[in-house]
């Protein structure tokens, strides 16, 4: 397996976080973020760097709420997470 390949299913489903799709999930996995816990402990600035370094339109995404959403998922706060996501616009407040 090439160093840049991602093993699907090797971590949490980061796409549960509003604003993260399959391509961004791959970038985060490649950046060493494969669990909700790790995402919750990563600053929005560090996530933004991963996105910006990937080039293309990835740097236009705003990961400000992603660590908090990931923390809620990690803690199993599904009701609160869903309620908050209903108020978000593509993961942005």
Q: Among candidates 66, 55, 73, which has minimal Cα distance to 91? A: 66
The residue ranges of every structural domain in the chain are 14-87
- 75/85 Cα distance (integer angstroms): 16
pLDDT band at residue 90 using 50, 70 and 90 as cut-offs: confident
Max distance between CA atoms of the chain, in angstroms, equals: 40
Q: How far apart are CA 52 and CA 25, in angstroms?
A: 14
Query: What pLDDT is recorded for position 25?
Result: 97
Mean pLDDT across 63-75: 97
Please state the pTM of the whole predicted model. Answer: 0.86
Segment 32-50 mean pLDDT: 97
């Amino acid at each position: 397996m090439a160093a840049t390949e991602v093993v699907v299913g090797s971590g949490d489903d980061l796409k549960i976080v509003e604003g993260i799709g399959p391509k961004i999930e791959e970038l985060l996995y490649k950046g060493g973020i494969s669990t909700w816990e790790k995402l919750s402990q990563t600053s929005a600035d560090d996530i933004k760097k991963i996105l910006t370094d990937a080039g293309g339109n990835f740097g236009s995404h705003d990961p400000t709420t992603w660590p908090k959403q990931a923390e809620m998922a990690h803690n199993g706060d599904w009701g609160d997470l869903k309620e908050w996501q209903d108020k978000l616009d593509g993961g942005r407040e």
